[in-house]
Amino acid sequence: MLHFLRRRLTVAILVALTVLTLSFLLTRLSGDLAISIAGPNATQEDVELIRRAYGLDRPLWVQYFDWLWRALQGDFGDSYFFKTRVARLIMERMPITMTLGLCGLFIALCVALPLGILAAVRENTWVDRSVLMVALIGQAMPSFWLGLTLMIVLGLNLGWLPISGTGSWQHYVMPSVVLSFSAIPSLMRLTRSGMIEALASDYIRTARAKGLSRLSILVKHGFRNAAIPVVAIAAVQLGFMLGGSIVIETVFALHGVGYLAWESISKNDFPVVQAVVLVLALIYIGLTLLSDLLNAVLDPRLRSA
Amino acid sequence: MSALLEVDDLRVTFGGTAAVRGISLTVEKGETHCLVGESGCGKSVTSLAVMGLLAKGGKREAARLSFAGDDIRYYDEKQMSRLRGDRMAMIFQEPMTSLNPAYTVGSQMTEVLRRHRGTPRAQAVDRAVELLTRVGITAPGLRLGQFPHQLSGGLRQRVMIAMALMCDPELLIADEPTTALDVTVQAQILRLLAELQKDLGLGILLITHDLGIVARVADRVSVMYAGEVVESAPTAELFRAPRHPYTRGLLSCVPVPGKVKRDEPLGSIPGVVPRIPPGFIGCAFRDRCSFAEAACAGPLPRRNVGPAHEMLCILPEGAGA
């Protein structure tokens, strides 16, 4: 177990360092930063001034280690556009994105797990096929399109839900539902195939021979084993959803980290872009590590290995 | 009084294959009834059908299927689940995969008692320790906290046996229960089952291909071939005077110390158990039988050939002996 943990942790740290380096390099590769900060009307002297002020005249590797050292301490510099600390900006916006991501994941699990179990129990019947069909449709539907459709129907035509902003919990309903759609198909398929495999196993026959209740057979003995990969994938899916919320936050004008990223990209606010990419990537790495840990906790065979 | 388990004309089909073709047998209280036969002859399917545990696609029909006097043919899953594990228990032949990898041995053993008797955890654990000790497991307290993958095949099989006995069942269906065990443990398990039989009147339907075990523990033997019982008799009678050509073939495959001479080849039955299509008539063994004649392709009589001794063959008494 300890050995397994150490290996996973090492890999996670290496990936994080790679992401740090890449996110630094990408912003430098996108053109002369001093020129884009100065704006289209700046003179050559202004550009030179800015170059010196932001330390962009130093060799690249000096800039890199300077930036890395600060980033590791949580200092991402100042935003050129918002004129505040980038770290503060992200801290302010993160709760909105986290709420959205967790709500989305919660909805996705609430839909995907029961449907997956149902499809497995009724394998190869019309129930199973309809569930798979729904998954297929969900997978094929672009989230911005679904978001706009819901806005028109539920927001404008029926007036049930607010269409943009973050004023109340109602504001989160539509974005969370749209976000959950990206995770439902894969979680559902995984639940279904895991349950089909579990239900055909000898230990389920043993559980039936012991006269256990149907619920205990399905959930305690069946789903407990089918859930191992599902839990792991759910953690990774949350990472995808946090990243994928850029589109949804923009559509629904939720001022979360995704919206911040979109704003900064359009305003060439490179310290913010860099930091957002970095933070989302680190969260993703953390969640992947968490999923490995959950796997080990749930599977006793892995725990003692 | 009716027998503990009565099966009459049990038929099981899987799609186009008839796995069991009209089996009748009874298990009395305190009796051990052995089902013997080659692999694939329908022994395991018979036991699963009795328990109502057939795999998806298996269809069961019977003229009679009663447990302790109750007709269980039309019991639904809920009614069956009240019987299973409590009054009728089963031991499977796959010890490596029959325990749930996600739970400890203790959790899996105690849940039977908790489900059927509502026994508090502490008492259920005591019972589990007692039974693990009785099936010859040392350090039962340690084993209870372990997961199946930490145990050897032999240990797992003994856990399965102990688990089946948790509720003191009236009927135990055991499918090759001792195949994975070495002979000393095997002897210990068989002694334990005999004790339970004497103390509690446990009825056992034992499925095995080990004729040595049959000779030691069975009160009555039914020999199965291709989904049918071809001969059924009290154990001593069957070993003394086997009548059906298949039974004789089976017995000749086993060396008996003192009877079989050194260097003399053991018997064997050529061929394998055939797959029987639905609507098959006649003797399924006729292609492998050295006494086969034209009449074997027609309907066969089930005849009494001695006290409580039945067989499914047209061979006249005394012939071929």
Flag whether residue B83 sits within 8 Å of chain A, measured between CB atoms: yes
Flag whether B319 is in a domain: no
B89 vs B256, which has greater pLDDT? B89
Rounded to an integer, the average pLDDT of B58-74 is 90
Of A210, A225, A300, the CB nearest to B84: A210
Rounded to an integer, the average pLDDT of A272-291 is 87
How near does any CA of chain B get to the CA of A209, in Å? 6
pLDDT category of residue B10 using cuts at 50, 70 and 90: very high
Inter-CA distances, B159 with A289, B83, B125, B177, B274, Å:
36, 21, 13, 11, 35
Partner A, chain B 4-63, Cβ-Cβ below 8 Å: 51, 53
CB contact under 8 A, A221 and B100: yes
- For residues A242 and A101, the answer to whether their CB atoms sit within 8 Å is yes
Confidence (pLDDT) at B260: 63
The lowest-confidence range among A264-278, B162-176, B267-281 is B267-281
What is the C-alpha radius of gyration for chain A, rounded to an integer number of angstroms?
24
Percent of chain A with pLDDT over 90: 20
Rounded to an integer, the average pLDDT of A209-221 is 91
What CA–CA distance (Å, rounded) separates A214 from A222? 10
CB contact under 8 A, A212 and B81: yes
The lowest-confidence range among B11-25, B246-260, B275-289 is B246-260
By C-alpha distance, the chain A residue nearest B92 is A206
Flag whether residue A201 sits within 8 Å of chain B, measured between CB atoms: yes
Count CA within 13 A, CB hemisphere, residue B245: 20
B59 vs A245, which has greater pLDDT? B59
How near does any CA of chain B get to the CA of A189, in Å? 21
Inter-CA distances, A11 with A14, A289, A298, Å:
5, 9, 21
How near does any CA of chain A get to the CA of B52, in Å? 9
Please give the tally of structural domains in chain B: 1
ipTM of this complex prediction, to 2 decimal places: 0.87
How far is residue B213 CA from its own chain's centroid?
12
Flag whether B293 is in a domain: yes
Rounded to an integer, the average pLDDT of A142-157 is 84
Partner A, chain B 96-115, Cβ-Cβ below 8 Å: 97-103, 111-112, 115
Name B85's Cβ contacts closer than 8 Å, sequence gap at least 6: A209, A210, A211, A212, B112, B115, B116, B166, B167, B169
Does the pLDDT of residue B321 top 50, yes or no? no
pLDDT tens per residue across span B142-171:
999 999 999 988 889 889 999 999 999 999
Flag whether B240 is in a domain: yes
CB contact under 8 A, B150 and A221: no
pLDDT tens per residue across span B44-59:
999 999 999 988 888 8
Does the pLDDT of residue B256 top 80, yes or no? no
Flag whether B270 is in a domain: yes
How near does any CA of chain A get to the CA of B16, in Å? 19
Rounded to 5, what percent of chain A is helix, strand, coil?
A: 80, 0, 20
Confidence (pLDDT) at B318: 58
B125 vs B38, which has greater pLDDT? B125
What CA–CA distance (Å, rounded) separates B92 from A56? 74
Confidence (pLDDT) at B259: 64
Contacts of A202 in chain B (CB under 8 A): 92, 94, 97-98
Confidence (pLDDT) at B12: 92
Rounded to an integer, the average pLDDT of A236-261 is 86
Does the pLDDT of residue B114 top 60, yes or no? yes
Phi, psi of B179 (to 5 degrees): -60, -35
Tell me the three state secondary structure of residue A6.
helix
Flag whether residue A299 sits within 8 Å of chain B, measured between CB atoms: yes
Flag whether B191 is in a domain: yes
DSSP state of A210: T
Flag whether B312 is in a domain: no
Count other Cβ atoms within 10 Å, centred on residue A163. Answer: 18
- Quick one: B61 exposed, middle or buried, by C-beta within 10 A (0-12, 13-18, 19+)? middle
pLDDT tens per residue across span A2-61:
777 888 889 888 988 888 888 888 777 767 777 777 777 778 888 888 888 777 778 888
Report the CATH number at residue B289.
3.40.50.300
Flag whether residue B79 sits within 8 Å of chain A, measured between CB atoms: no
How near does any CA of chain B get to the CA of A197, in Å? 13
Q: What angle do CA B160, B163, B165 make, to 5 degrees?
A: 115
Domain extent, residue B287, equals 5-305
Confidence (pLDDT) at B319: 54
The lowest-confidence range among A161-170, A206-215, A252-261, B194-203 is A161-170
Q: What is the mean pLDDT of chain B?
A: 87
CB contact under 8 A, B115 and A213: yes
How near does any CA of chain A get to the CA of B257, in Å? 38
Flag whether B318 is in a domain: no
Task: Out of A237-241, A297-301, B204-208, give the one with best mean pLDDT.
Answer: B204-208
CB contact under 8 A, A211 and B81: yes
Contacts of A208 in chain B (CB under 8 A): 53, 81, 84
Count other Cβ atoms within 10 Å, centred on residue B183. Answer: 9
